[in-house]
Amino acid sequence: AIAIPAYQDYIAKSQFTAGMAEITPGKTQMETKLNEGTPVTNDAAGLLLLGLQGTTKNCAITAIGFAGTSGNASINCVISGTATVQGKTISWRRAGSTGVWTCHTDADAKYIGKCSDGTTITHVAS
């Protein structure tokens, strides 16, 4: 009675972590493209610019970046996992005014840890 729920929580945490790991590498490429003045469109071509795939085992990934004055950007993963995390979103968001990236999620707090850069994940309502 105790082992099965604990195992399910463990699986959900690992799926959340895997989703975060899949979108995090796109931040560096997004920075490069924004610094070059290249907008990143929310389609397969835009994801290719970031070295990301649209659909993986763990995520449905979207990304968009606005070059020029705003510099706002986001990279998002809609988790494909067990019922507890399926459909929840993990996002890296870039504030154009500061260039600072923050991570956000609408997953339950017990499934999330830290952002991959060690900062705290901002929890948003689903």
Q: pLDDT per residue over 61-81, tens digit each?
A: 998 888 665 788 999 999 998
80-96: average pLDDT: 90
pLDDT for res 111: 83
Q: How far is CA 12 from CA 8, 26, 43, 74, 92, in A?
A: 6, 23, 28, 23, 19
pLDDT for res 65: 85
Under DSSP, is residue 45 helix (H, G, I), strand (E, B) or coil? helix
pTM of the predicted model as reported, rounded to 2 decimal places: 0.86
